[in-house]
Each structure stands twice: as structure tokens, then as C-alpha cells.
Amino acid sequence: MKRTCKKVRCAPVRPRWRLALALALAGGLVHHAPIVSQRLKILRAVCAGLVLVSGGAALGAAGDPGFAGQYVIRSWGTEAGLPQNSVNAVAQTPEGYLWLATQGGLARFDGVRFRVFGLEEGLPSISIRALLVDRAGDLWVGTGGGLCRWRGGRLERFTVKDGLAANVVTALAEDAGGRLWVGTSQGVSVWSAGRFQSEPALAEVGRVSIRALESGNAGEMLISAVVGLFRFAAGRVELVRGPEEFPDVSPYCLLADRAGRLWASIGNGRVLCREEGAWRVYDMDSGLPFAYVTALAEDGDGTVWAGSVDAGLYAFREGRFLPVRRADGLSADDIRCLHVDEEGQLWVGTRTGGLNRLARRKLAVFGAAHGLTNEFVRAVGETPDGVWWVATGGSGMIRRLPEGFAPWEDVNNQQFTFMRTVLVTHEGHLWAGGAGALFQLVDGRLVSAWKRAQVPWLANAEVTALLEDERDGIWVGTSAGRLLRFRGGEFESFGNDPARGTITALAQEEDGAVWVGSTTGGVLQMRPGTGSSFSFEEILPGRDIRALHRDGQGTLWIGTAGAGLVRWQAGRLAFITRREGLTDDTISQILADEEGHLWLGSNRGIMRARRVELDALAEGRLKFIHPRVFGLADGMLAEECASGSSPNATRLQSGELLFPTVRGLVMIAPRQPSRSAPVPRVMIEELLVGGLPHPAFPPHGIRGGDSPPVVVIPPGRRDLEIVFTGLSYAAPTRVRFRYRLGENAEWVEAGTRRSAYYQQLRPGRYEFQVLAANADNLWTLTPAAVVLDLRPHYWETLWFAVLVGLLILGAAAGGVRLAERRRYRRRLNRLETLHAVERERLRISRDMHDNVGSMLTQVSQLSDLAQQSPGDAAALRQRLDRIGDQARVAVQALDEVVWTANPHNDNLPNFAHYVSRYADDFFEAAGLRCWQEIPPDLPAWPLPADVRHHLFLAVKEAFNNVVRHARATEVWLRLRWGRGSLTLEVEDNGCGFDPARLRDETGNGLRNLAERLAAGKGHAEILSQPGQGAKVRFTIPIAPELPTAEP
């Protein structure tokens, strides 16, 4: 059955005229809580003196240091994230969050982080007075500006416009019928069925300020107003009278406990309790302080707690109130509210000290408060008589006797103040070592002492490690790295500093081999031989060793500084570190219990791990372990355990384990009492996309076991952070998590980290799940889950991929076709080139035959004729002149053939130069003046040989026509280029002609011009009129990228 705990939020204490009159009669004192006047302080001192003189038991109860020591107290203030240090009310919603009412807004707390709600979130005022969680799970918030309801992650506001009696809300309660009662500064309002309803009977209470509301055990509603205490039942209101000595009561706070009692605080040092219709008064004689009780609550075991205005907290046990004050660990003594959570822990809100939590200790601690004069404990051991021997760093040896801690008087602790290690042999003898000293005790009496002044190896060294030899003797390790064995009344030394550093730990094998751990030399196994000889084996060289433990199965467990726990078995090493679940990588103490656990003392508390899990982890059958960790939350004064000596921790004869720490001793029972600690409630709180909260994420979060909602994430940034929490307040910093993305994915062990990060997730649907475990390793049964629907960009969709695939295939096909066409064109170009070469060869041969060949034939014939008429000198001269003319013509023709065939002339500048030179020679021989207009800087555009040849022949034909037919005296040769074409013009000042008439004649000259230009992909244009000369224009296309024809 689930146990519920009642709590109460009390209204601020206000002065009453009756109390003021009484105090005035007592000494003219006026009190206005929470301000305490000087006269009130004097009155308190007088009352305390009277109690002291009379030997009252109240002082003894108040001075009992044992009661407060049963609890672990932790506090949170503004430095931890609380918006303001005045906590007026505390409530817990069904998902497990704690809600805090402060003067700086509403705060939600998960044990680690605070989230603050203020005006921006919809609160009408940041002055929060009261909180209540109704049976539907809604949180009601009473503020200085109206009433609010937190439902579904949003705040709803109600004011006087909605029927509220006043906007200043002072108290909240829910009756047995589920109706909400709202106390305000001007009376009571009742909320039911979604609205404020009228209750005529409440007129008797009046429009006065309400101090407290409490739902009674009989179904009634108790109303404490400034004018008195009222009871509402069955539609009627009646005044509740107090005891005879205090008939008119106006309580500051109320509590109806599970035993059927009604508790009411009525003034300085007085609390009333009504049981079975009779009132009982508790005052200073019962342990209460002379101060107003401002808050009352009942915890899970029935203890009633009372918080005072400025004198601390009190628990009602066996008819008395026992104190817990600031001196006991509270952050402040000015209590404003009390609340007991579902785990049974008491939460205390203060006016100046923030929030406090009281939890039962799960272990015993021994420090200065228990008489331990030096809390820096290095080692401890227990002799058969039950005496604890404590080695401290600064106060020498201290004994714990049945009557308490006391210094060891047999030795001057002022001389030997720094002790390091304690060993109790199987015979019950005690060995204690430290700086410059080693002592042996038998039955508590000192029998032997070795001191630095007498023993050379102790002159500048400390005894840091002791070990009882399984066969005979005591092994001694020093800070100088020296190892000795005491046997037969003498010390024998093994080697010259074999450990290469301070010896911190010793262990022994069954065959007598000794394991030696040191700060710089790792672990050395020494096997003593005859005399002082030995052989050794070294493992973990260079490591800083803190502890060694050899178990009954022959496994050596090694505690290191920074490298975790190491298992050495059958010649193999296995490391177990924080990555595998340890809370710290420095292991300073190792103990084994009879329950199959190894206990590991570290810098971050004491870990308890199952031996079988450690073996499975070392052998690769397990990837992660979850040890139970004891720390500050369980009552340790400090989490750092003592290190640097061996042995240090011990198992007592009663079975408890005793660990030395830097702040006292810690005693833990291996068999922890089973408590029904609930598993933590796991929540997914927030989804951040690109560092910003996702607007579609549920504002109230996602609880474990809820149906996972689908959150759509549009295309864009895919850097996700998922924030989660586990609600367990016994040890909130020890709550661990595991999560995964996808039902078939492996769990990721997150440790205490409360967020998961994912970068550049691919589009798709993912289900994120998270589990939580408390400090007792109890895991949530069902995870909190959310489905993330990451929408793709259009280029990440299937249709786009198909389209791109088709385009790629099309492009590939097109590329193949283009490559084929290019290959075809290259083949065609090669064929055309071959054909062009063939044509050029044919042309050259034809030109050689037609021009040069015919001329040489004429020269040959003329030579023959000259030889036949040797006597005719005139005819001979004439024939020789003709031979010379024909030879010159042949040379010119041959030059034209060579020029045309030379590929170096396949460009525009060379062509222009050749035509210009030919024109000069030709018209000079004809007796005509030739004017040339050719640009000096022509671009080196390519001009194919065939085009160049046809254009030259056309120009040559035009030159011949001028000389033969034009009867001109001057000729103009012009060359122009641009816009992808080349233009040559031949113009004369001759007789001219009619081009239209000549087209009908049978002459071949003009037709040859047109044919030659067409062969070069150009055209000829003739412009002339009779008597006005003639102009012939040749135009051919030409481009810079035009390739030069290969010969």
C-alpha cells in the first residue's frame, strides 16, 4: 500500500491583539514575526535560565547530539540555481518533480537542476505563497496576484474577475470530495467543476485573512483565520474552541496526522494537539523553543515535524520535541515550510537559507563530533578486545574504547604524530607504523618499538605498508622504497630499494611470493630465496599503485591512481575504469565481504561491486557494471578515502566494514537493510534542434511508460540534443542513465550525464528511449520514449534519388553517345584529312604538270628550234628570250606550288605577305602602279592550305584580268578582317564593264573566280560600270579556332 504523507504550508505570522496584550503585560514587549525585538530576546534568555536552574529535561533533550546525527542534511540555495532563498512552500507532482514557491518565482527541481518560472511563463506575480497538487495531478499555485494552475505544461490564471475572493492567495487545501479550497487575504473561495462556487456558510468566517487550511480526517475542512479556528462540515461552519487556558485560538499552521490527531501552532513555544476530542499543550517543557512554529508535517514513520520561525527544526518523538538546527547542518534556522516526498525524505524551506533535505543515514560516521580529535585518518584496525586503533595524520594513534575515542598514552603522540598504517595479526598482535617509528603491541601493551634515532632505515623514512607473512614474520615497506622482513627478532632487507618509490601496498601468494606495489614502480612480485636473495617479476611498470588485494581464488586485485581497478589472473591483466562503470579511476582501498562483493574506496566515495560482475567484465562477457556508491548523500563527511598505506581499511569482528577517509571513519554494514526505495521516474524534458527548443515537443515533457509521441523535425539542421532526467531524491547526483536510438540499437551507458547528442542524423523515423537507475541500482521498468520523424530535404527523397539516377543514366548514355560521335568525328576528320592530302597531292601534281611541265616543254621545244637555226642570230635571240621568259614563269609557278604546300604558311600574316609581294612583282612587270592597304599587325589566325590556295588563285586571276582587259594605270589591293571573315579587294581605274552583260557571255574568267571562291567556302562580288573602273571583292569565312589542315 502506498503511504501518503501530509504537509502544511503556514501563513506568515501576524500580530494578534490578545498576544500583544499578554506580552505587554509581561514587560511591554511587542513582537512582529519574523522580526524579534530586543526585549523578546531578553525574555527568552530568562526562560532558558529558569529551565537550566531547575534542571529541566528539555535542555537535555535539546542538547542530544545523537538525534540530528541520524540524518544527512543537504542544502540548495541561489548558488545552485534557486531563484531566491525564501522557500515558502514545497509540493511534488505525480511525475516526481518538486515544485518550490519562492519570492523570486516558481521553481521546478529534479534533484540536480532548477527550472524557474516567472512572469514570462504566465505567472501574475513572482511572489509565490502556497502550492497544492490535487488528486488529478494538477499543480495549484497561490501568488500575490491571483491563483494559477499548471496543467499540461502550461499555466492558467484565475483572479477576482473569475470569482476569487482576493488576488492574494495565502493557503490551499483539497477536501475529501475533490474540491479546492483557496484561502486569501479576504476570505475563502471554493473551486469545483471548473469554476468558483458560492458557499453561503462561509459568510460566518467573513472577509478576513486566512492563515491555514487543512482537510481533516473526518472529511471536514479546518479553516484558520485571524479571528479564530473554524470547522466546515456538511454545509455548516462552526467555531473550534481551544483548551481552557487558550480558548480563543487562531493557529498559524495546522496538521491532521494519520493517527487522527489535529496539530495547531498557536504562539511562541506552544503547539496544541487534539486527540479524541481533548486538547494537549506542548511547550518549552516538551522541548519546543520559545518561538513561533510556522510549519508542521508528518513523515512516513509517523514522526511529526515542527519548523520554527527562527529556532530550527524539531521532531516529535516519544512525547518530546528533538531539535535539528543550523549547528547540525541546516542552512538556516528560520523555517518557512515542510514537505515529505514519496521516498520519505523531509524537505525544509527556510526564509534565508534556501532548501534543505533530511534523509536517513545509510552508514555510520565517526568524526570530531564523536570525539575523534583528528579527522584525517590514514588507517584503522581492530584488536580482539574490540578496541579500534586509528592512525591519524597529525595526532598520532587514537583508540576507540567503549566509552569513546582517546589518545594512545603509551607513546608520546606529540613526537610521533604522523602514523600511516595499522596491522592486526592472526594472533591479535598490533603493529603500527608511521613517520620514523614502528610499534608492536600485544594485548594492548607496547612490547617493541623501533624509532628513527635507533634504526638507520627509519631515519628519513616512514613505515607505509605492513603484511603478515603466511609462514613466519612481518613484511615492512617504507616510503624510501625499502622492503624488509621481520623474523626471529631481526629485520632482513631485500635489495636496494627494489620498489623504486614509496611502497604503498603488499600482498602474498600461497607459495610465499610477495606482491609489492609502489608509487612509481608498478607491481613487483618478489620470491625470496635462500638468505637475502630473491627473484622478481614486474607488472604494470610505472603505474602508481594504491592498494593490493588477493582473494581466495588466487586473483590479485590492484587499485591504481588514475588507471582504475586492475585484475591479474593467470598471467593476464584486465582494466576496469570509469568507462566500464566505476565512479572514479583512483582506487585506494579494497575489501571483500562474505556476500560476494568487493568494496572499493576511492576519491569519489565507496563503491560496492559484485565479484561475479567484475569477473565477467574482465573476461569480456559484460560491458558495463553499476556498482552501488556511498557518498555525501548517504552521510559521508567527505567522499575521499585515505590512500598511500597498507593496510588501511578493515573488516570488524561484527562484520561491518570500516573505511578511513580524509574526514573521519565510515562504517558500513555489508548487508544493507532492504528499504522499499522507489525506482526513479524517468522523464524526457526537452528536445533541442540546432541548440534551440523544438516548438512541437510536448511542453510538459514525456514520462516513462507514456505512449511515445511523434515529433516531426522539418528539413534543416539535424544536430539534436535530447535532455532527460531521473527523479530520485535520495541521491540525485548518483542517478544513472542508459539510452538508445532505435529499438534494435545497443544501449549507451551515459552514467550521470542527462543529455544525449546526435549530429547529422539521416532522414527517417527513430524512437529514442531512456532508462534511469537510482543509487541502489534499481532501474525503471519502462523507458521514456519519443519518436523523431526527421523529414528529408527534397534532394534526400526517393523520387529525387530516382530522378537523379535517371539523369545520371541519361547523362551516361549521352556521354557514351557523345564519345561515340566524337570518335566518329575524329575518324571522319582523319579521313577528310587524308582526302585533303590526296587532293593536295593531286593538285600539286596537276599544277606541276599543267604549269611547270608545259613551260618546261616549251623551253625544250624552243631550245630545239634554236639549235636548228644557228645562222639566224635574230631568230636565235628571240627564241632565247622566250626561253628565259618561260623559265621565269616556271620558276614563279614552282614557287607558288612550294608556297602552297608549306604548312608554315597556313596563317593570315604569311598569306597577306605573299599576296603583297606577288602583287608588287606582278604589276611592276606590267607597268602599273599598285597601291596596297594591308594592316601591319594581322592576327595569327589559321588559314587552311586549300582555302589559301583557292583564294590566291582567285586573286591572281583578278590581277590577270586587270592587266589584260582593264587598260588601267593604277590598281588598289585592300585586305580587311573581322567578325569571322577575311575580305580582299582588287580595284582598278580602267575602262570598266557591265557585269550583267558579261554573265551571259561564254568567258570563263569570272566563272573561274566564283568557282575558286566557292571551293574555299567563300564568295566573289564584282562591282563595275563602263568608264568607271572595276572592283572585285573576295570574302571567305575565317575563325581563330579553325584548325590548320595537316599535310
Instruction: Dump the DSSP string for 697-757.
Output: S-TT-EETTSPPPEEEE-SS---EEEEEEEE--SSGGG-EEEEEESTTSPPEEEET--EEE
**Average pLDDT, integer, range 1014-1041:** 83
Based on the domain organization, do 972 and 1044 belong to the same domain? yes
pTM above 0.75, yes or no: no
Residue 125 domain-assigned (yes or no) = no
Using the predicted structure, report yes or no on whether residue 1044 has a pLDDT greater than 70. Answer: no
E strand or H helix that includes residue 592: strand 587-592
Are residues 597 and 510 part of one domain? yes
In this predicted model, what pLDDT tens digit does every residue of 247-282 receive, in sequence order?
999 999 999 999 999 999 998 889 999 999 899 999
Within a domain: 622: yes
For residue 247, the model assigns a pLDDT of 92
| Boundary of a domain, candidates 183, 204, 231 | 231
Mean pLDDT of 28-57: 36
204 in a structural domain: yes
1043 and 912, same structural domain? Answer: yes
pLDDT in tens, 578-623: 999 999 999 999 999 999 999 999 999 999 999 999 999 999 999 9
Instruction: Say if residue 587 is in the same domain as residue 651.
Output: yes
Average pLDDT over residues 144-151: 96
Give yes or no: residues 627 and 694 share one domain: no
Same domain, 894 and 948: no
* Per-residue pLDDT tens over the stretch 66-123: 788 889 999 999 999 999 999 999 999 999 999 999 999 999 999 999 999 999 999 9
Residue 908's nearest CA partner among 932, 935, 941 is 941
**How do residues 293-303 score in pLDDT, each as one tens digit?**
999 999 999 99
| Domain assignment present for 141 | no
Judge whether 116 lies within some domain.
no
pLDDT confidence band for 24 (50 / 70 / 90): very low
Q: What is the per-residue pLDDT for 614?
A: 96
DSSP-derived secondary structure letter, 252: S
Query: pLDDT (tens digit, 9 = 90+) per residue, 306-344?
Result: 999 999 999 999 999 999 999 999 999 999 999 999 999
Structure confidence at residue 954 as a pLDDT band (50, 70, 90): confident
| pLDDT, tens only, 921-951 | 888 888 899 999 999 888 888 888 778 888 8
Q: Is residue 102 part of a domain?
A: no
Strand 597-602 relative to strand 187-192: parallel, antiparallel, unpaired? unpaired
The answer to whether residue 540 sits within a structural domain is yes
pLDDT tens-digit map of 645-695: 999 999 999 999 999 999 999 999 988 665 556 889 999 999 999 999 999
Question: In terms of domains, do 635 and 758 share one?
Answer: no
Q: What is the largest CA-CA distance in the chain?
A: 186
CATH code of 721's domain? 2.60.40.10
pLDDT > 60? residue 196: yes
Confidence at 869, pLDDT banded by 50, 70, 90: low
> If we measure between CA atoms, which residue out of 530, 447, 430, 536 comes closest to residue 483?
536
248 and 220 assigned to the same domain: no
Under a CB-based contact definition with an 8 Å cutoff, are residues 143 and 185 in contact? no
Domain interval for residue 605: 365-668
With a CB cutoff of 8 Å and minimum separation 6, the contacts of 426 are 468
> Same structural domain for residues 588 and 447?
yes
Q: What is the 3-state secondary structure (H, E, C) of 625-688?
A: CCCEEECHHHCCCCCCECCCCECCCEECCCCCEEEEECCEEEEECCCCCCCCCCCCEEEEEEEE
Instruction: Report whether pLDDT(44) > 50.
Output: no
Instruction: Give per-residue pLDDT as tens, 956-1011.
Output: 888 888 988 888 999 999 999 877 788 999 999 999 888 877 665 545 556 666 77
For residue 26, pLDDT over 60 is answered with no
pLDDT of 497 reads: 64
pLDDT of res. 6: 43
Is there a single domain that holds both residue 279 and residue 168?
Answer: no
CA separation for the pair 338, 253 (Å, rounded) = 11
Average of per-residue pLDDT across 878-884: 71
Q: Which of 789, 809, 837 is the last residue of a domain?
A: 789
The total of structural domains in the chain comes to 6
Q: What does 763-777 look like in DSSP terms, one character per residue? A: SEEEEEEEEEE-TT-
pLDDT attached to residue 868 = 64
- What are the C-alpha distances in Å from 1025 to residues 955, 957, 972, 1003, 1029? 20, 20, 17, 18, 7
Q: Are strands 377-382 and 388-392 parallel, antiparallel or unpaired?
A: antiparallel
- CATH code where residue 932 lies: 3.30.565.10
- Does residue 107 lie within any of the structural domains? no
Domain C-terminal end among 851, 874, 901: 901
Sheet strands side by side (includes 565-569): 545-550, 556-560, 565-569, 572-576
3-state secondary structure 840-897: HHHHHHHHHHHHHHHHHHHHHHHHHHHHHCCCCHHHHHHHHHHHHHHHHHHHHHHHHH
Task: Say if residue 815 is in the same domain as residue 776.
Answer: no
**DSSP assignments along 116-146, one per residue:** EE-GGGT-S-S-EEEEEE-TTSPEEEEETTE
At residue 59 the predicted structure's pLDDT band, cuts being 50, 70 and 90, is very low
Q: What percent of the chain has pLDDT over 90?
A: 61
The answer to whether 981 and 941 are in contact (CB under 8 A) is no
Look at residue 981 in the predicted model and tell me its pLDDT. Answer: 86
**Is there a single domain that holds both residue 765 and residue 778?**
yes
